[in-house]
Amino acid sequence: MSTHISPHDKYFKTMMEYPEVSYSFIQDNLPSPLLSRIDLSSLTLVKESMIEDSLRTQFTDLLFKAHFAPIASLEDEKSSQIQAFDKSLEEGLIYILIEHASRPDKLLPFRLWKYTCGLLDRHLKTNPKGPFPLIFPMILHSGKSPYSHSTDFFSLFGDNEHIVRNIFTNPFTLRDLASKPDEELSTHLKLRFVESTMKHIWTKKWDAFFKPLFNDFVDSIPNEEIAFILPSLYYIFHNKKMNHREWSLCLKDLASSSTSKEKETTIMNMEECFEQRGILKGKLEGMREGKREGKLEGKLEERLEIATRLLHKGHSLDHVADLLDLSLEEMKMLNHPTH
C-alpha cells in the first residue's frame, strides 16, 4: 500500500486539527445515543507519535479519543432521549477513527478493520487487564462522484457474506475438553484418543488413566499404525518429566499388556526411537551452540544410518523423517524403499 499522502488527505488532516472543526464534525456525524455519552470537552487528537510505525505507514486517517460513559443496556442505547454526559459515571475511552478518501476504494472497510485491530493491540500492551475501548470508525469521502462501493466489511466476502457475518458476529466456537465428560469426546477413534490424552494430561498418572487408554487404542488399530501413538508418548513423558528408566518401564508395561505379539514387538522397538531422539536432540543442540564432540556428531550420515535402522524395524517414512529432521530428498538417499 502506498505511503504517499495526497493533497486532499493533507488538507483534511490540517483542518481537522482545529478543535472547533473536529468538534463540529463529530457532533454532526456520530449517532445521537452515542454522542450523548461522550464528553466532547475531553476530545483529543491522537498524535502520530502515539501510533505505531506499522500503522502510521499504512493509514492516512485521523484518530481522536474522548471520555465515554458506558451504555448500561440495549434499551438505553436505543432510547431516543438524549441526556447530558454524566461525569459521575465511570469513564471509559472511545476512539473515533476517521478515514478520508478522495476516490472510491473497495478495500476501505478492510483497512478500517485492520487499523481497529491495531489500535486494540496497542491498547492491550499498555492496559493488559483493562477492557477494550470503544472504537467508532467512519469514512469521509470527497471524490468527484458519489462513493460507489459498500462500506460493509462482510460484503468483501462475496457469496460467503452471510456465513462470515454469522461467524464473526457471534461468540467463537469453543470445544472445552476440561468441561466435557469422557463419553462426549469425539466418536472418531484417533481423534478421541488425542482428545483423551490432552484432557487428562494434567490430572492423571500413567497407571490410573493412560495405560488403559493406550491399551484400548493399540488393540483397536492395525500393527502398521502403532507409530501413531509415538507423538502422544513423547507428549506424556515430557509433560510428566519422566526419566529414561520411567518411560522405559511404561513402554514395557504397555507392550506386555498388548494382545498381539507383533504389536508387543513394535512397541518395544519404540524405545530405540526415544533413545535416538534424545541422543540426536543433544547433538543438534550442540551443533547450534558450536560444540563438537566428534567429527561425525549430528552429521547427515549418522542420521541416515539411524533412519535406515528404524525403517527396517517397520517405522513409517513420515515418522522417521520427522523424528530425525530429514527432508524427502535426504530420505531418498537411503537404501530403503520410500514408497
Predicted confidence at residue 82, as pLDDT, reads: 38
Q: How far apart, in whole angstroms, are the C-alpha atoms of residue 124 and residue 322?
A: 37
Which three cell numbers, joined as nine digits, stand for 101?
A: 478518501
Q: Is the pTM of this model over 0.85?
A: no
Q: Work out the angle at residue 10's Cα, subtended by the Cα atoms of residues 98 and 3, and round it to the nearest 5 degrees.
A: 85
- Residue 195 in this model has a pLDDT that exceeds 90: yes
Predicted confidence at residue 72, as pLDDT, reads: 52
Q: What rounded mean pLDDT belongs to the chain?
A: 78
Q: How far apart, in whole angstroms, are the C-alpha atoms of residue 85 and residue 35?
A: 9
Q: How far apart, in whole angstroms, are the C-alpha atoms of residue 69 and residue 86?
A: 7
| Average pLDDT value for residue range 227-235 | 85
Q: How far apart, in whole angstroms, are the C-alpha atoms of residue 278 and residue 207?
A: 24
Predicted confidence at residue 74, as pLDDT, reads: 37
Burial of 139 (0-12, 13-18, 19+ CB in 10 A): middle
Structure confidence by residue, pLDDT tens digits, 36-92:
888 888 888 887 544 455 544 444 468 898 888 765 543 444 444 434 444 444 457
Q: Which residues contact 55 (CB under 8 A, 6 or more apart)?
A: 115, 118, 119, 122
Which three cell numbers, joined as nine digits, stand for 181?
A: 465428560
